[in-house]
Structure 1
């Protein structure tokens, strides 16, 4: 088959989306399929066929689309939220670029978000099957970000932007032939909040190339000297939904009772400046180390003793899968689909979302109890090696492609 993996978001990027796309490409190509990747440029200057080096810059298409959209909005939808206007122009630009790269040549278009799914549904050829994997809920993630900026939940739920995201969420799924959800949690949200019938969605947990990951673990990592202290690693983009400020507050308490640890933060993003300011304000300059965006997470995990992810919302984070396979004790929140990945006191420790005290308590327990830390790490590795298999995920996705191909003419 010829398969196009498409996403509205920019690649390469920090986070699980890129890992999923690249891992899936590897798994499909191992079965003899031809796979291309269509996405926006990481600097948002245009759109690209990533693996071929083909680029279409935004200035070739967006001015024309913007001119027509602005006229329509002014005449037909006066008072429309400016962010909705921007999203619509950007969405149509993505759609035009996708059409430019000849989507009719593919047997399957497998999109990675509701925006690209909506766009590809409009430009696909009738013989092309449309499948989507939905990695998160656009509406609720936006709500979490606005709450982080001090906007009340009740206020945001009354905005045009909230209703717009809900519209995109619904139609971005309903126009697919098949839709994949990595977790039952996300499937439940789409069913309950966006009126998607359960039989339109199939849950397929993410997978990873475990053999390659284990090889990467054995490569050298350029990292600070921990001075013999235990290393707590958090690898996640610096985004409000990842909950880093709760981690910093928990570490402040931890510093008051133990000084035998350091915390490495691997990643970058919009909150980096604020996080560094907060770490300094808490007096954590010596305990918290900002490592920046890293390509050597497997090697960093090998050096670490504990992995922590304090997410406020998450679906099926690759960071947890990697920590499991690396055999590390994990401390995670119960956000989103995470409880489907981690069994408390078996393959990690779970704390309630946003609960700094329980996060602190779990870190304290793992630092103080070597046997607990070893047991959780060993059990996590045994679970991860079996559960996060890339071949198993590829088999299930290929079966979904076949179902979608049977539906394409309906």
Structure 2
């Protein structure tokens, strides 16, 4: 079997999604599957097949697309600069993928709705398409919009031109896919709410390569916490949707009650300087360390006492699973797929989303209760090791491919 894993987005800067693609590819290869990986390299503006060292520059077709899709010929198309940019890039991605060649695969596994729609438009034969929904595109776009318009509501956004555009991508990609892979009940519900049949879904939780994780965790992290300080940790992209600004708000409140902690934040993103400024204005600059991008998160997490995932929306972040495997008690926001990752007060805690007061109060309680932290961390580690097997994820995904081939054959 030959499989193409493809994403419209920047391939290796996708955080947990890149981890998913890389681990899935390795596992499928171990099962005898031939796997290619296609994605975008933004610095060179290329679409490329990673393991074959083949690429196509979108710059070659960009002038032609701009000439065709211009305000004079298509005023409605170009009225919204963001949507026009998305569409121009999607067309360029389609042309690049067609040039690189996609007709020789047995299954194409898209990692986002944009890639799914693009690939389906250029297929010349009935190759089964499986699409993974790692998040809710329209809702993620809403949170991006909310950064500049805090009063914006989700219902209002979904009824706007932009909201309808992103919803249409989700609906079209779902309709064109033989099967849909999701990791949580939440992401499935967001799609059934827009009319996707429940029969199309196959739920397979994200997994971690446990031997590789343990090897990485055995390495020494070159820094240690200050004496007498417990570490509150976060790892991930520094973007609005990840809610790090809520964590900093909670830490500012916590500082008024106790100072026996330090917050370690690993990751990079567009909000780094804004988050530094927020910490400075709150008077907690010396209590937060921004480590930037780290190559070994398991080693980093060995020093954590509490892990916080304050995301406004997150399906099932790898960072939470990595913290659980490190035996660190986790706190997650009660939104999207995150509550499905913990059993409250046994393997972690759930706090109301965007509620800095609740998060601060829970941190205060946990900092002074080592016995609870140890017990919950141990239970979380045991649960993750039992339920996050990469071997099972690979086998179940291969079964989905085989089912998609069968269903595709029936439809011809």
- TM-score band by shorter chain is over 0.9
Structure 2 equivalent of residue 329 of structure 1: 329
1:209-242 superposed Cα distances (whole Å, 9 cap, x missing partner): 1111111011122336433411111001011111
Corresponding residue number in structure 2 for 1:402:
402
2:128 corresponds in structure 1 to: 129
* TM-score, normalised relative to structure 2: 0.95
Contact 2:70 2:78 in 1 (8 A): no
Give the 5 Å matches for 1:4-153.
4-43=4-43, 45-70=45-70, 74-75=73-74, 77=76, 80-151=79-150, 152-153=152-153
- Residue 155 of structure 1, CA deviation: 4.7
Could you say which residue in structure 1 is the equivalent of 2:177? 176
Whole-Å Cα distance in 2 between the matches of residues 370 and 260 of structure 1? 13
- Is the partner of 1:84 in helix, strand or coil? helix
Does the aligned pair in 2 maintain the 1:66–1:89 contact within 8 Å?
A: yes
1:47-82 per-residue CA deviation (whole Å, 9 max, x = no partner) reads 1111222221221122222221226x7347366322
Contact 1:186-1:337 within 8 A present in 2 as well: yes
Q: Per-residue deviation at 1:407? A: 2.0
Matches within 5 A, 1:217-228: 217-223=217-223, 225-228=225-228
Give the conservation status (yes or no) of the 8 Å contact 2:158–2:167.
no
What secondary structure sits across from 1:22 in the alignment? helix
| Whole-angstrom CA distance in 1 between matches of 2:364 and 2:34 | 49
- CA gap of 1:376–1:206, structure 2 versus 1, over 3 A, is same
SS where residue 257 of structure 1 aligns?
A: coil
Unpaired runs of at least 5, structure 1: none
Using the TM superposition, name which of 181-190 and 50-59 deviates more: 50-59
Q: Would the aligned equivalents of 1:306 and 1:330 in 2 still touch at CA under 8 Å?
A: yes
User: Shift of residue 37 of structure 1?
Assistant: 0.6
* 1-structure distance, mates of 2:70, 2:226: 55
Checking the alignment, whether the CA contact within 8 Å between 1:12 and 1:42 is kept in structure 2 is no
Answer yes or no: is 1:348 the counterpart of 2:343. Answer: no
Q: 1:210, 1:390 within 8 Å by CA — same for their partners in 2?
A: yes
Report SS of the residue matched to 1:215: helix
The 1-side partners of 2:40 and 2:325 are apart by 31
1:377-408 alpha-carbon deviations (Å, 9 max, x no partner) = 10000000011110111111111101100122
CA RMSD, Structure 1 to Structure 2 (Å): 1.6
User: What is the aligned partner in structure 2 of residue 167 from structure 1?
Assistant: 168
Distance 1:11 1:157 in 2: 27
1:168-193 CA distance string (max 9 Å, x none): 1100111011111111101001111x
CA distance in structure 2 between the aligned counterparts of 1:75 and 1:347, rounded to whole angstroms: 54
**Structure 1 length as normaliser, TM-score?**
0.96
**Residue 364 in 1 paired to residue 373 in 2?**
no
What per-residue deviation string (whole Å, max 9, x for no partner) do you get for residues 7-60 of structure 1? 011021152111110110111011111111100004362111112222212211
Q: Which runs of 4+ in 1 moved over 6 A?
A: none
